[in-house]
Structure 1
């Protein structure tokens, strides 16, 4: 690199020229290993076969799931996709459970009669993607059904029977209608495969988050492997001393994607790679000036790794970031080598 320190800062146009825009091969391969979409498609027929069995009671369905090759948590994930019922909604049901189901039971109609499901885990135990074991790598581990998952299955199958004053919740639970098709293989097959024609926002969000995490992980590992100086520490999702921009009242330290440190010198690195546009880069753009000023005041440095066609659709946000960064690079090995050069220059220079 031509030595002047300002060369570590790119303008928007310089950054765009250096950008990859679409996923590099290394990340695409890593993502394929973690992606849940192939797993869902691979097990779709098993899911349909289980629901096609004409059972008399919900407990009979639970027994069939536990004796099948399809894991209980993966069965729940299929239902979540069918109902487009995200993690935030699961948490909301848990928070508002006592108001929604004051008797801790759900009345529903099935096989032309009213039934009652008594919740087994709720409200003592809460529902979330994590507690249901339907996040990321958990889906590749076989879990038998537990009480939480049984409660979730009941809600996701028969939630459309919910009738109460909370119309907002009722309209969302109306999506939970797959119980209407239990034991009806032809209708089930058509209903489920139509749902899988479009990619659920839940799946898309999981994929976007997983890809973003992969980019962060790749950058951290690249620095460890390539920086070539001893005594450095590279941490993910960590903090800088005396940087509390997000929470001045409590003094809680601001979290950054990556922190690189040596001998009490610190560099924060934010990573964003978005192939499709979303609001994440806008948020980083809004935070950039204040974060830069506080990082500078605390005697540290901040760098950004930014790439992906979606990010470059948000020119204003990227321009703000470029103006308020000590080093800005795109996502490629050449660009990451510039980042390592910046880190070496700062961490080993006693004058900075």
Structure 2
């Protein structure tokens, strides 16, 4: 295999006229000597692989010289450079093109490259002009923060609106359910009361004392249920005794006299605390405490348990 240097083939380059894409690369090479493949490709308007292929062919034919890139002060590899070779170049006594001052240190290496050897792979072009910047500027960061703040405010407003709509929907559903429950409770109370009145009236006509007494107790209880249903359909009064549950708890009116009066009014009947509480519009717990106190004081009599039933003390029992 021949080992002649690149420079020895320049005798046939006097009339070197490549064609096609190679002509563009040759024109760019001669116009920008000592340029990298990237620069030559841009000047020729071709791709980098096309420029590399053409330059390699020029070098193999002795019309171009490739100078390996050095390293910068930062240690980065510089791209290889290419230069054209003309037939009228001044040669030394061996026929070689004398090295330029910038490439004197690499001339010996270039001259020893065999024309038949494949071109060494070109080092990647790592110049700073090709390196993309990833640093975010301060105005960009501030703009992102402002956009995020606006997004958060919009999201919070949307969540608050959705929550308000959901609460309104639940409130409406609760009101509808409460109204339906009130209507059902009222109908049941009125029906039960009507049944108690009818039964009691029939017992009165038939002179059935036991059924009549039981019917009266059912009427009292049914009347309390109706009053309770009426209170749920009307606004609560803010003045007067027994106007509301809150008023019952805070009213200074004594409870035991009312319990005694109720027992005395129906001396032959026995009542539970819950039944008396419904009639008086007071709490069943307070009425139960009052009945226990009255029983200890001898003003009422416990006649049965589970549930506890009380009646007034008759004069002969006192």
TM-score, normalised to structure 2's length? 0.23
State the structure with more CA Rg: 2
Bigger fraction of residues in strand: 1
TM-score, normalised to structure 1's length? 0.21
Bigger fraction of residues in helix: 2
Instruction: Name which structure has the greater RCO, CA cutoff 8 Å, separation 6+.
Output: 1
